[in-house]
C-alpha cells in the first residue's frame, strides 16, 4: 500500500480572512485561502517560531475546493484614538490634524469572508504530510483562519490518503451542507483553484508563495519584520454534479479515511463481556484507575468501553482466581491497555459509530487521534437531538 501523500483540511468559520495584497490602512481578503495563510496555519500547529524555515511546507502542492463562496464583509477599524500611532514612514512620527494639531485617528479598512467553507488538499512528501496531519489534530499553538480573530468552527483535520493529482483528491471528499437543517441546495458545480507548474500555459500568477515570515537574521529583533513571498501558478477549474458526492452525515468528515479498528476475538468477547469477572473486577478497577472521570470528555464516567477484546483471558469465576499470581498480571495488563472509562453519552456516541460504519467484529478506540474527532462530532449530534426533543416536549406542555 502506498504511503499517504495528501492531507485534507476543512477551513470553515463564521469569519475568515486571507490577505493577499492589502497593507497598512487597507487589509484585503482573497476569495479563497492563500498558500501563505495555509502554510502559516500548519507552521503554527507544528509550533514553529516565526523565523524558522517553512520551505518544506511551502513545497507542498495546494488545491482548494470552494464549498461555500461566502460573502465579503467590511470592517470599519480605527487605531490610535487620543493616543497616536507612528505612521508607516517612521521619520514622520505620529500623525496630527493639520488645522488643530490634535492626534489624528488612523482609519483602517479590513475585509473578511463571512460563512465560507473550503476544502484544502496539500500533496507532497509523505513524511511532511504525516507530521502535518499529526499537528493538525493536536496543534502546538491555537490555529486560526488568516487572522487571530478567526478561529475555525469545525476541526480542520479531515484525513490523509494517496492520490496522483489534486483534482481527483479533492473530488473524493463529499460535499455537505453548513449545518443540520440547512435547506440551501447543493451547488450544481464547485469552483476549484489548483496549483500547477510554472510551464503550464493556463497558469495564473499569485504572489502568496511564502519564502519566510520573519528573516532568520532578525530572530531577536523587537520590531515587526516584513514577510517575503514569491509567485506561484494556479488554474481555475470546476467540479460538476456527478463528479462529487453529497453527504448529509455530519459525522462523516473524512469518511473515505475510516481508520482500521481493533478486531475483537469472539472467544474473549464471549468469556469477558457481561461475566462476573467483568462486573466485579475489570470494570470497577478501570473506573477507579480513571477516578470515575471520562477519558474523552472529562464528565463523570459511568461506562467502561473495550478498545480491544482478548482471547487469552480464561473463564475465571472467583475472586481468588482473579487475584492469583497466575492471572493477576494478565488482567491488570488488560485493564490498563484495552479498557477506557467513558461517560454514558460518550459511550453511546462510540457505539453509534460502530453500528454506523458496520464494523462488525471490530472495536473503536475513542482516544485514537483518527477516531476522536468523529466521536466528538457524533456526541454533539446526540446532544443537539436531545435538546430539540426536550424543547418540543416543553412546547407541547405549555
pLDDT at 274: 54
Q: Do residues 270 and 240 share a domain?
A: no
Residue 379: inside a domain:
yes
Residues of the chain with pLDDT under 70: 1-2, 23-24, 80-95, 97-98, 180-181, 219-224, 249-279, 309-323, 325-328, 358-361, 398
Give me the pLDDT at residue 83, please.
Answer: 66
The pLDDT of residue 365: 86
| Residue 239, in any domain of the structure | yes
Which residue, 224, 256, 288, sits at the end of a domain? 256
pTM given for the model: 0.62
- Looking at the structure, tell me whether residues 34 and 166 fall in a common domain: yes
Same domain, 108 and 49: yes
Q: Are 217 and 257 in contact (CB under 8 A)?
A: no
Do residue 174 and residue 220 come from a single domain?
yes
Number of domains in the chain: 2
Is 157 part of a structural domain of the chain?
yes
240 and 272 part of one domain: no
Same domain, 266 and 241: no
CATH number at residue 35: 3.30.70.2660
Rounded to an integer, what distance in angstroms lies between the CA atom of residue 359 and that of residue 305? Answer: 15
Strands 106-123 and 26-27, by their bridges, are: parallel
In a domain, 397, yes or no: no
End-to-end CA, the chain: 60
For residues 230 and 296, state if they share a domain.
no
**Residue 336 covered by a domain:** yes
- Domain assignment present for residue 16? The answer is yes
Q: Which of 223, 256, 289 is the last residue of a domain?
A: 256
Specify the pLDDT at position 258: 43
pLDDT computed for residue 252 by the predictor: 45
Helix, strand, coil percentages, rounded to 5, for the chain: 30, 25, 45
Per-residue pLDDT at 93: 62
Strand partners of residue 266: none
The domain of 195 spans 6-256
Q: What is the pLDDT of residue 36?
A: 95
Neighbours of 155 (CB within 10 A): 18
| H or E element at residue 398 | none
Query: Does residue 398 lie in a domain region?
Result: no
My answer on whether 240 and 342 are in the same domain is no
* Tens digit of each residue's pLDDT (9 = 90 or more) over 370-396: 788 888 888 888 888 888 777 777 777
- State whether 231 and 268 are in the same domain: no
Output the pLDDT for position 381: 81
Q: Is 101 exposed, middle or buried (0-12, 13-18, 19+ CB in 10 A)?
A: exposed
Encode 208-260 in three state secondary structure: EEEEECCCHHHCCCCCCCCCEEEEEEEEEEEEECCCCCECCCCCCCCHHHCCC
How crowded is the C-beta side of 317, counted as CA atoms within 13 Å? Answer: 1
Shared domain check, 24 and 50: yes
pLDDT tens digits, residue range 27-80? 889 999 999 999 999 999 999 998 899 999 999 999 999 999 989 999 988 776
Report if residue 1 sits inside a domain: no
- 100 and 205 in a single domain? The answer is yes
The residue out of 221, 256, 291 marking a domain boundary is 256
**Do residues 228 and 371 share a domain?**
no
Amino acid at each position: 500500500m502506498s504511503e499517504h501523500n495528501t492531507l485534507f483540511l476543512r477551513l470553515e468559520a463564521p469569519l475568515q480572512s486571507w490577505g493577499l495584497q492589502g497593507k497598512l490602512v487597507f487589509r484585503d481578503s482573497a476569495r479563497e485561502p492563500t498558500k501563505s495563510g495555509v502554510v502559516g496555519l500548519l507552521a503554527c500547529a507544528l509550533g514553529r517560531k516565526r523565523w524558522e524555515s517553512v520551505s518544506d511546507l511551502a513545497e507542498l502542492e495546494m488545491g482548494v475546493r470552494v464549498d461555500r463562496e461566502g460573502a465579503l464583509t467590511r470592517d470599519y477599524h480605527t487605531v490610535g484614538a487620543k493616543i497616536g500611532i507612528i505612521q508607516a514612514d517612521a521619520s514622520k512620527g505620529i500623525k496630527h490634524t493639520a488645522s488643530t494639531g490634535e492626534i489624528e485617528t488612523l482609519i483602517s479598512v479590513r475585509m473578511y469572508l463571512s460563512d465560507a467553507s473550503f476544502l484544502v488538499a496539500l500533496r507532497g512528501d509523505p513524511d511532511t504530510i504525516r507530521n502535518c496531519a499529526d499537528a493538525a489534530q493536536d496543534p502546538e499553538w491555537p490555529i486560526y483562519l488568516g487572522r487571530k480573530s478567526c478561529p475555525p468552527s469545525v476541526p480542520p483535520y479531515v484525513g490523509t490518503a494517496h492520490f496522483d493529482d489534486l483534482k481527483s483528491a479533492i473530488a473524493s471528499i463529499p460535499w455537505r451542507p453548513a449545518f443540520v437543517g440547512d435547506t440551501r441546495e447543493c451547488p450544481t458545480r464547485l469552483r476549484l483553484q489548483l496549483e500547477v507548474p510554472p510551464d503550464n500555459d493556463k497558469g495564473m500568477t499569485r504572489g502568496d508563495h511564502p519564502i519566510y515570515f520573519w528573516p532568520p537574521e532578525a530572530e531577536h529583533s523587537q520590531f515587526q519584520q516584513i514577510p517575503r513571498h514569491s509567485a506561484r501558478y494556479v488554474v481555475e477549474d470546476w467540479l460538476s454534479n456527478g463528479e462529487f458526492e453529497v453527504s448529509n452525515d455530519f459525522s462523516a468528515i473524512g469518511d473515505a479515511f475510516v481508520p482500521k479498528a481493533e478486531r475483537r476475538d469472539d472467544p474473549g468477547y464471549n468469556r469477558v463481556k457481561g461475566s462476573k469477572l467483568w462486573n466485579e473486577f475489570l470494570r470497577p478497577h478501570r473506573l477507579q484507575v480513571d477516578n470515575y472521570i471520562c477519558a474523552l470528555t472529562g464528565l463523570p464516567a459511568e461506562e467502561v468501553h473495550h478498545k480491544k477484546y482478548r482471547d487469552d483471558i480464561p473463564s475465571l469465576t472467583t475472586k481468588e482466581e482473579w487475584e492469583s499470581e497466575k492471572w493477576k498480571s494478565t488482567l491488570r495488563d488488560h485493564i490498563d491497555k484495552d479498557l477506557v472509562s467513558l461517560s454514558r453519552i460518550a459511550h453511546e456516541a462510540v457505539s453509534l459509530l460502530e453500528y454506523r460504519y458496520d464494523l462488525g467484529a471490530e472495536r473503536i478506540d475513542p482516544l485514537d487521534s483518527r477516531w476522536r474527532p468523529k466521536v466528538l462530532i457524533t456526541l454533539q449530534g446526540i446532544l443537539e437531538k436531545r435538546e430539540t426533543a426536550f424543547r418540543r416536549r416543553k412546547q407541547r406542555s405549555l
